[in-house]
Structure 1
Amino acid sequence: MQNSGFRILIVDDEQHYCDVLKLILEGESYQVKTTTSSLDALEMLEQESYDLVISDFFMQDLDGFELLKKIRTDHVDTEVIIITGYGSIKNAIDAIKKGAFSYYIKSHDPEELLFEVKKVKKIAELSLKMSQPAVKGQYLMMSKNTKMKKIIDMIDKVADSNANILLLGESGVGKEAFAAYIHEKSFRRDKNFVPVNCHAYSKTLLESELFGHEKGAYTGATETRIGKFESAEGGTLFLDEIGDATLDMQVKMLRVLDTKRIERIGSNRLIDVDFRLVCATNRNISEMIQTGLFREDFYYRISTFALEIPPLRERREDIPQMVHFFIARLANDMKKTIKSVNDDLMDYLLQYDYPGNIRELKNMIERLIVLSSDGVLKKEDLYLDQKNRTQFQIHTLKAFRSQSEKQYIERILKHTEGHLTQAAELLDITRRQLFNKIQELEIDTERFKIKNEK
């Protein structure tokens, strides 16, 4: 079974031990990062989401108890396995009482550690299947990614206010879904949610779309039409691609936000309007302000809170959950039963870069469901342009382990400048075992100037 979506952080002040554990865990296809500082580990946890932290108990900056406490407080979805020596087993057991998943004794067989890691992963998978996601609009409003968690938390705090919100991010990250979620979380939820794509209209048409017009206001205006400002009365107006609005339109919209009044085209009558404004764009507003393409006063008026939604490639840990969410929703719409997702497909989905972000992932899942004839989603049913494919070669586990082992031994040999005795000591094996490995893995002895000293 593939473990590519399971992220592990190793914390040990012995770099060599970190490297050994990393080699073992990557041999099982886990995603692994290491650090020799528990303080650095806390910073890494703020920047990325990890499913598991494997930490030594005795550290120079923060010991195992302190690190465990901070993880249990600030990163509740991250499990912790404590590494210990024989002399500190009691401390490790105390750590379990304080919330650690389990402990591992350094001198024991690494298979014991792998067994514990597999248990953590299995429990995480079961929890994911049993959880009831907070679904609003089209997308999941929950995440394992640290940055996304903070954004969702901020939205939950400001949604029930009248503050104007600007959503930033690439095309396809789900900005309209977030806008709809903000509306549904607000006291305006019983009124209209009115979306307008500014990119879809010319200046003249956008003005008519927003302000409305009176009958006879211009050629073709055969009847009075209420604009989106009025349609959103009491509710939420969502202006997507606000970066495409002309400077003239920005001035007119700024006046509406300041006065809360509009005039339909062809009329002098002022109409009071009451709506909550949410805007979005995939353009760089800061650069547009500097080049004079976007008014700074308008920017500050629409962005009481400016939230940048990260692209999907920066929060890959959310992909498995999104895949299962889209399967459940789309399979139900198509009246099809999907039983499973092949491991090679999930691995591919985790590696792919998604230039189209969540929208692209949804379309991929929809295509796979349509093509599935036996309830199993398969990688071979994906028809993607070759230029968009992530280059990823599939190897047997044995071949992958051998390659990883070879690379690590070569690093050690380079570090010791080819001295077998020193290298064997660092690897904690005998010179004879190391020599056999060099032959077995076909390591170039000339390249590392290996010295078979006595």
Structure 2
Amino acid sequence: MAKILIIDDDTSFGLMIEGFLKRKGFDTVFVSSFNNALHSVRKTKFDLVLTDYRLDSGTGLDLIPVIKKHHQKTPVVLITAYSDIRVAVSAIKLGAFEYITKPVNPDELLHVINRGIEKTNKVSDTPKPPVARSNYIKGISRFAEQVDQQVELIATTDLSVLVLGESGVGKEFVAQRIHELSNRSAMPFVAVDCGALHTDIAGSELFGHRKGSFTGAMDDKEGHFEAVKDGTIFLDEIGNLSYDVQVKLLRAIQERKGRRMGSNEEYAINCRIIAATNEDLRSSSLSGKFREDLYHRLNEFSINILPLRERKEDIPLYSKRFLQLATREFKKEHIFLSSEVEDIFFSYEWPGNLRELRNVIRRAVLLAKGDTITLAELPPEIQMPSKIPQAPVQLRDVKEKSEKDTIIEILEQNKYNKAKTARILGIDRKTLYNKIYKYGIDA
């Protein structure tokens, strides 16, 4: 019987969810405060954690790193009443398995939980590299064709590749495609979410450890670099690694050798390294946040993935493919998008990129009553997108508001889409980034 921790400061809602899950055969524990949640995850191992975003003295986002520190493989599902894609993206970056929004649909909740439990049951304590399987979809835009050409060009080499782009644009799929087309395709492909690696366990996860090398090291453990052997290792969100781990990674890349924690024996590192980030690593390296020498080691070749809003001609193709995957997943057939949904898909800005598009379609297929997806099956933020001023607002003409307040207002109206904010403000993105840094804007 799977054990689930439910965290929500709304006692009535939490008890309702607990009752529903108990009727479905789950063993549940419900807590209504942030501190009690901390105590529970430190004391007990759960098969899945279901947490609300807003809690009494913290947030669900604050809990994710704590859960991952104590039980890294435990899936975390975030529930939020605030349809803000930035919260969802932040949750995924921190290592959340999935997110759903209130009002919670029981079928959707049960499906997400079952997928999370199934994932937990498949994971063993010793990492086993999966066989490379890619759902890579070739786009039809000129940009997509350019990326495909770059992938085919670089795949046959052993150069380290840095894949750049916003969260959700499909950086891991590009990395998998490079691996598939390389001479290492028969070898393992191992993806590592660096954003979910807590500083205390990052060295162990990447390079392994010996029994007794630190508190809690009950057995020998093989790290990802050792497990991948001659295959490809994909380091996602590389910019989130702590400085100490960056030093260890740099040494391993330079010497092509790794060493388990607590061991004096070294093993050869023969894998290819592909890294990805949604940050400006160049700026981070110049500011000292990210080691410049490591940046250059990883960036022997770079591929920049444009956000979906800047290549909208690819939206129909991706929508069709995601619809096929969702109908297969939920065992439904012959479901189509209505013309109104197709139109709104094309006009929406997709701040969460391909990940958001896929999640929206999966949710819509699950909720669909007939053979056509209508506006009723779409989330509210897509049905009623924020009204954004169409006429450019030049910063030099702003008199009554401060420059900082204007930037914040336009950022919020655009759901923190910096490219579009810069266009509306009549400045380039570099200038906008400089002003965000200057004013200390949380963006």
- TM-score in terms of structure 1 length: 0.54
User: Of the candidates 254, 278, 281, which is equivalent to residue 282 of structure 1?
Assistant: 278
Cα deviation per residue 1:32-58 (whole Å; 9 max; x = unaligned)?
xxxxxxxxxxxxxxxxxxxxxxxxxxx
Query: What is residue 142 of structure 2 aligned with on the other side?
Result: 146
1:296-315 alignment, distance < 5 Å: 296-315=292-311
Q: Distance in 2 between matches of 1:257 and 1:214?
A: 21
Cα deviation per residue 1:354-406 (whole Å; 9 max; x = unaligned)?
111100000111111112222111122212237971559xxxxxxxxxxxxxx
Query: What is residue 196 of structure 2 aligned with on the other side?
Result: 200
SS in 1 for 2:174: helix
Structure 2 residue 205 is the aligned partner of structure 1 residue 234: no
Structure 1 residues 365 and 251, CA, compared in 2 at 3 Å: closer, same or farther?
Answer: same
Q: Distance in 2 between matches of 1:366 and 1:388?
A: 19
1:309-388 alignment, distance < 5 Å: 309-385=305-381
Q: Is the CA contact 2:327–2:335 (under 8 Å) kept in the aligned structure 1? A: no
Cα deviation per residue 1:223-277 (whole Å; 9 max; x = unaligned)?
1101011011011111111001122222211111111111111011111121010
Query: What is residue 155 of structure 1 aligned with on the other side?
Result: 151
Q: Distance in 1 between matches of 2:338 and 2:280?
A: 39
Structure 1 residues 387 and 287, CA, compared in 2 at 3 Å: closer, same or farther?
Answer: farther
Cα deviation per residue 1:107-127 (whole Å; 9 max; x = unaligned)?
xxxxxxxxxxxxxxxxxxxxx
Q: Distance in 1 between matches of 2:328 and 2:215?
A: 47
Percent identity, please. 36
Q: Distance in 1 between matches of 2:179 and 2:340?
A: 39
Query: What is residue 260 of structure 1 aligned with on the other side?
Result: 256
Deviation at 1:281, TM superposition (A): 0.6
Structure 1 residues 228 and 136, CA, compared in 2 at 3 Å: closer, same or farther?
Answer: closer
Query: What is residue 273 of structure 1 aligned with on the other side?
Result: 269
Q: Is the CA contact 1:136–1:181 (under 8 Å) kept in the aligned structure 2? A: no
**For structure 2, which runs of at least 5 residues remain unmatched after alignment?**
1-131, 389-443
Q: Is the CA contact 1:212–1:265 (under 8 Å) kept in the aligned structure 2? A: yes
Structure 1 residues 388 and 238, CA, compared in 2 at 3 Å: closer, same or farther?
Answer: farther
Query: What is residue 38 of structure 2 aligned with on the other side?
Result: none
1:70-81 alignment, distance < 5 Å: none
Deviation at 1:196, TM superposition (A): 0.8
Q: Distance in 2 between matches of 1:360 and 1:231?
A: 32
Q: Distance in 2 between matches of 1:361 and 1:259?
A: 42
Cα deviation per residue 1:174-218 (whole Å; 9 max; x = unaligned)?
111111111111111111111111111222211110110011111
AA partner of residue 184 (structure 1): E
Structure 1 residues 271 and 183, CA, compared in 2 at 3 Å: closer, same or farther?
Answer: same
Structure 2 residue 127 is the aligned partner of structure 1 residue 137: no
SS in 1 for 2:270: coil
AA partner of residue 297 (structure 1): D
**For structure 1, which runs of at least 5 residues remain unmatched after alignment?**
1-134, 393-454
AA partner of residue 263 (structure 1): R
Structure 2 residue 130 is the aligned partner of structure 1 residue 164: no
Structure 1 residues 136 and 190, CA, compared in 2 at 3 Å: closer, same or farther?
Answer: closer
Q: Distance in 2 between matches of 1:338 and 1:352?
A: 25
Q: Is the CA contact 2:141–2:311 (under 8 Å) kept in the aligned structure 1? A: yes
Structure 1 residues 136 and 232, CA, compared in 2 at 3 Å: closer, same or farther?
Answer: closer
Q: Is the CA contact 1:353–1:390 (under 8 Å) kept in the aligned structure 2? A: no
Q: Distance in 2 between matches of 1:233 and 1:138?
A: 23
Structure 2 residue 173 is the aligned partner of structure 1 residue 177: yes
- TM-score in terms of structure 2 length: 0.56
Q: Distance in 2 between matches of 1:331 and 1:238?
A: 29
Rg (Cα) greater in structure: 1
AA partner of residue 144 (structure 1): I
Query: What is residue 291 of structure 1 aligned with on the other side?
Result: 287
SS in 2 for 1:389: coil
Cα deviation per residue 1:322-348 (whole Å; 9 max; x = unaligned)?
111111121122211134321111000
Q: Distance in 2 between matches of 1:290 and 1:258?
A: 20
Q: Is the CA contact 2:335–2:365 (under 8 Å) kept in the aligned structure 1? A: no
SS in 1 for 2:190: strand
AA partner of residue 193 (structure 2): N
Q: Distance in 2 between matches of 1:388 and 1:182?
A: 38
Query: What is residue 113 of structure 2 aligned with on the other side?
Result: none
Q: Distance in 2 between matches of 1:327 and 1:340?
A: 8
1:86-165 alignment, distance < 5 Å: 137-140=134-137, 142-165=138-161
SS in 2 for 1:239: strand
Q: Is the CA contact 1:192–1:236 (under 8 Å) kept in the aligned structure 2? A: yes
Q: Is the CA contact 1:169–1:308 (under 8 Å) kept in the aligned structure 2? A: yes
SS in 1 for 2:380: coil
Q: Distance in 1 between matches of 2:139 and 2:382?
A: 30
Task: Kindly report structure 1 stretches of 4+ aligned residues shifted beyond 4 Å.
Answer: none
SS in 1 for 2:258: strand
Query: What is residue 217 of structure 2 aligned with on the other side?
Result: 221
Q: Is the CA contact 1:213–1:225 (under 8 Å) kept in the aligned structure 2? A: yes
